[in-house]
Amino acid sequence: MNEANYVIGVDYGTDSVRSVIVDTANGNEISSSVFFYPRWQKGLYCNPSKNQFRQHPLDYIEGLTATIKNCIEKAGGEHIAQQIKGISVDTTGSSPVAVDEKGVPLALTSGFEENPNAMFVLWKDHTSVGEANEINNHAKKFKINYLKYVGGTYSSEWFWAKLLHVLRIDKEVRKATASWVEHCDWVPFLLTGAADVKEMKRSRCAAGHKALWAEEYDGLPPDTFFSKLDPLLKGYREKLFTETYTSDVVAGNLSSAWAEHLGLSTDVVVGVGAFDAHMGAVGGQIEPYYLSKVMGTSTCDILVAPNKDIDGKLIKGICGQVNGSVIPNMAGLEAGQSAFGDTYAWFKNLISWPLNHLLTQTTLIDQQTALALKEEIEGKIIATLSEQAAALTEDYDAEVALDWLNGRRTPDANQELKGAIKGLSLGTDAPRIFRALAEATCFGAKNIVDRFKEEGVPVKGIIGIGGVAKKSPYIMQMMADVLEMPIRIHRFEHTCALGAAMFAAVAAGIYPTVEEAMEKMGTGFEKEYKPNAKNKKMYREHYEQYLGFGRYIEKYNKRDVKPYQS
């Protein structure tokens, strides 16, 4: 009998990293492991009131080590390790970091260990709203529209806005920065033991969707585009990259140091990285014109189409259209919502205030019981709210909310926008507010689908992956009702990691194409939510209220965000 071939998929999320060992013959999970970032859990280096969210590279390194070792141990140890052929990685994005000439994040070098500006600037960090506005205004001065492949609007969640902000506010980091690197590019570079940042293979996915790379420009926009924006950016085009690589390409082999550290062989191939949603779409067995929704803290919506169908077509207001960003030789289109699961988490934390601040002060029960009670109640809040919200009667005059608690990603990125609720009365209770928030997230999803359709890109159906898709039947049924189309939920628990494993199988030469890896390693769907026709009229009316409310808030809540002046 032929020996089995296994691969490892690593998925870096906002709160944790998970690794899976997958059998390339059938996509079966052999083992999995999850690691929650300890510094992130403590809230270190973050300031939510200022929209600052930074992550220390040690969280990433420790998580990578712990999960892979744990996976190997669970799977059977050395015997399994000998059969592992490849590793591929996906990450959140845009989550870049300043590095030195060796490609080492500055937070891992002397003097910068506790400096948030020397750490990874997480996707949800919006401290560069002013810089994003500047980029958008600056782009209008050029005959060539350098923003045309990112939907026409640059976001504070992306590469250049974050770089410019960090360069402006931190002189020491500015002086030490040799290059600016995405998380999904740095991890493969780390694993292969490379020591020259100029040799780093940059992800087509990250570069095209967040850094303005385009085949039309033979790389990035010209230096004059950046230096005229701010002289601090002069020369950065040369410090960065021209070539990009799709994720079926080999980044290198596992270095001897990492091979020894993880208990693997230097024959293990490491693939070029990509963003989580893009690899997740592959893990979720995406098909042309089916929208893959990765639903977690935020959503990232991915659609693929044949290049010939998209040629010459520019889709306004999305997060980019890039050849090969998802499946090589196909156009990858990205959209999403800046807050999805985060919206529900915010409300849960809001109504948990007494539990967090008063319960532990009680003298009626001991501290251990108080903490146990707090944990039990918090664990039931979302499920109970969902049950009671689902039981509410049809209501055409219900509360209406906007899902912009972390700004609006698409359509038409605007991270200055805030969430809002209207229609509150003395009869409004927690389940009614929760229903309004749930509707808002579903209406935000519909707004994205409608934009694709308006721009001539059909959406034939929805593929749901991620934590919310698997854990919240209430939200998924509502979304199917709002979108008026079925939603298939993928069976695999860690779908993004499975997508990374599929790319690892191609990079390792086990399968010749991503499509064949998807066919052989795809695990199918566990459930389908079909729209309930009786809710159509109500949700259509609520959706029109949502759109009208959004237009009002956007018009009357504008404020000038002035960029930092050194």
Q: Are residues 350 and 479 in the same domain?
A: yes
In the DSSP assignment, the letter for residue 414 is B
- Residue 536 CA to its chain's centroid (Å): 30
pLDDT for the residue numbered 342: 93
Q: Are residues 16 and 126 in the same domain?
A: yes
Neighbours of 310 (CB within 10 A): 19
pLDDT for the residue numbered 561: 45
Q: For residue 333, is it within any domain?
A: no
pLDDT in tens, 84-109: 999 999 999 999 999 999 999 999 99
Helices vs strands, H then E, count in the chain: 22, 20
pLDDT for the residue numbered 364: 92
**Residues with pLDDT less than 70, the chain:** 1-2, 558-566
Q: For residue 315, is it within any domain?
A: no
> Using only C-alpha atoms, what is the Rg of the chain?
23
Vertex 275 angle, CA 18 and 259, to 5°: 50
- Residue 152 CA to its chain's centroid (Å): 20
Q: For residue 242, is it within any domain?
A: yes
- Scan for tokens 């609006």, then name that residue: 408
Q: Are residues 519 and 552 in the same domain?
A: no
Q: Are residues 447 and 503 in the same domain?
A: no
* HEC letters along 394-406: CCCCCCEEECCEC
Q: Are residues 500 and 391 in the same domain?
A: no
pLDDT for the residue numbered 559: 55
Task: Evaluate whether 285 touches 315 at the Cβ level (below 8 Å).
Answer: no
Report the run of H or E that residue 421 belongs to, with start and end.
Answer: strand 420-422
In terms of Cα–Cα distance, which of 548, 529, 504, 561 is closest to 85? 504
In the DSSP assignment, the letter for residue 410 is S
**Cα 303 from Cα 318, distance rounded (Å):** 11
Q: For residue 317, is it within any domain?
A: no
pLDDT for the residue numbered 61: 98
In terms of Cα–Cα distance, which of 205, 198, 135 is closest to 164? 135
Taking the CA atoms of residue 137, residue 337, residue 63 and residue 278 in that order, the dihedral angle to the nearest 10 degrees is -90
Report the run of H or E that residue 467 belongs to, with start and end.
Answer: helix 467-471
pLDDT in tens, 272-298: 999 999 999 999 999 999 999 999 889
Q: Are residues 59 and 108 in the same domain?
A: yes
Report in angstroms the alpha-carbon separations of 486 from 282, 287, 438, 536: 19, 15, 18, 13
Q: For residue 153, is it within any domain?
A: yes
For the record, the structure tokens of 34 come out as: 């999850």
In terms of residue numbers, what domain contains 109?
Answer: 6-284+493-525
Q: For residue 323, is it within any domain?
A: no
Task: Evaluate whether 126 touches 407 at the Cβ level (below 8 Å).
Answer: yes
- The answer to pTM > 0.85 is yes
Backbone phi, then psi, for 548, in 5-degree steps? -65, -40
- In 45-191, DSSP assigns E strands to 54-55, 84-91, 96-99, 120-121, 179-182
For the record, the structure tokens of 461 come out as: 């159906």
Report the run of H or E that residue 293 belongs to, with start and end.
Answer: strand 290-295
- Scan for tokens 């550290």, then name that residue: 261
**Cα 461 from Cα 313, distance rounded (Å):** 21
- In 107-151, DSSP assigns E strands to 120-121
In the DSSP assignment, the letter for residue 363 is S
352: domain CATH number? 3.30.420.40
- Scan for tokens 């009365």, then name that residue: 425
Q: Are residues 396 and 256 in the same domain?
A: no
Q: Are residues 263 and 386 in the same domain?
A: no
Paired residues of 8 in beta bridges? 21, 87
Task: Evaluate whether 337 touches 444 at the Cβ level (below 8 Å).
Answer: yes
pLDDT for the residue numbered 415: 87
**Cα 30 from Cα 32, distance rounded (Å):** 7
In the DSSP assignment, the letter for residue 47 is B
State the total domains in the chain. 2
Q: For residue 252, is it within any domain?
A: yes
**Cα 463 from Cα 303, distance rounded (Å):** 10
Q: Are residues 116 and 134 in the same domain?
A: yes
**At 490, which amino acid appears?**
H
Q: For residue 406, is it within any domain?
A: yes
- Scan for tokens 């300890």, then name that residue: 38
Q: Are residues 209 and 353 in the same domain?
A: no
pLDDT for the residue numbered 566: 42
Q: Are residues 96 and 176 in the same domain?
A: yes
**Cα 61 from Cα 39, distance rounded (Å):** 12
Q: Are residues 80 and 185 in the same domain?
A: yes
